[in-house]
């Protein structure tokens, strides 16, 4: 019997960007949604996307499959919820880095940025499995692009703070380049699901530090 036969018809349109059938209001419901998403994350990280079914999620979460359908209409909705959670972690990280830069706490901005994002990649094995296979809905793909743009804007603010004034188009372009390069390298480093190569992360730092030194020199020359 197809899992979709259990679909509930009521939807909650009040949650922008979330494909939940209804928002969990009570603590018990919120805990159940958390258990569902945690189970889906474990399956993604340990068994891969193809193993992720509503029945498998229910088994891993220790909950009836019908309980999952109370909140999520299908597997893709679970994946979207997980994906948005992964992206939120990156956005929160860049906010924290911007605050630390403005507060004068980033003595090594490149090293700190790489370390923070490497830890997110390391701790989100399910997210890495999802992104590596590119099993993204159009909505989640757009959210990914928006998240990268948000991170690039944050990096541009850090660059402008470090050079002591607003940057030009080079600063904007450089921030995007850093996001693209860091994403590509870290996805490659963490895609296997095992222990990453710390030397590869160090090489990323060296590469980005060289790029930052060159950019800083060019921007400083312009200001002068």
Q: Mean pLDDT, to the nearest integer, of 24-52?
A: 85
Q: What confidence score (pLDDT) does residue 4 get? A: 37
Domains of the chain: 3-69 (1.10.10.60), 76-223 (1.10.357.10)
Q: Quote the pTM value.
A: 0.76
Least confident among 7-21, 155-169, 177-191? 7-21
- Whether 16 shows a pLDDT value over 50: the answer reads no
Q: What confidence score (pLDDT) does residue 189 get? A: 87
pLDDT tens digits for range 94-122: 999 999 888 888 788 899 999 999 998 88
Q: What confidence score (pLDDT) does residue 191 get? A: 75
**Nearest-CA neighbor of 163 among 90, 114, 202, 215?**
215
Q: Mean pLDDT, to the nearest integer, of 46-55?
A: 90
Q: What confidence score (pLDDT) does residue 25 get? A: 56
């Amino acid at each position: 019997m197809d899992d979709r036969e259990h679909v509930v018809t009521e939807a909650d349109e009040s949650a922008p960007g979330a494909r939940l059938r209804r928002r969990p209001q009570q603590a018990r419901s919120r805990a159940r949604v958390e258990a569902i998403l945690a189970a889906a994350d474990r399956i993604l990280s340990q068994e891969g996307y193809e193993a992720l079914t509503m029945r498998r999620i229910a088994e891993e979460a220790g909950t009836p499959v019908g309980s999952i359908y109370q909140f999520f209409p299908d597997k893709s909705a679970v994946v979207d919820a997980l994906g948005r959670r992964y992206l939120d972690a990156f956005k929160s990280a860049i906010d924290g880095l911007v605050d630390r830069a403005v507060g004068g706490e980033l003595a090594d901005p490149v090293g700190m940025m790489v370390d923070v994002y490497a830890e997110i990649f390391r701790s989100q094995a399910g997210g890495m499995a999802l992104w590596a296979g590119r099993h993204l809905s159009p909505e989640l793909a757009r959210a990914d692009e928006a998240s990268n743009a948000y991170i690039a804007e944050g990096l541009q603010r850090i660059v402008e703070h470090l050079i002591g004034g607003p940057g030009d188009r080079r600063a904007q372009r450089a921030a995007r380049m850093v996001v693209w390069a860091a994403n590509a390298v870290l996805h490659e480093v963490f895609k296997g699901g095992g222990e990453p190569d710390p030397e590869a992360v160090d090489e990323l730092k060296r590469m980005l530090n060289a790029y930052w030194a060159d950019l800083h020199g060019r921007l400083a020359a312009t200001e002068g």
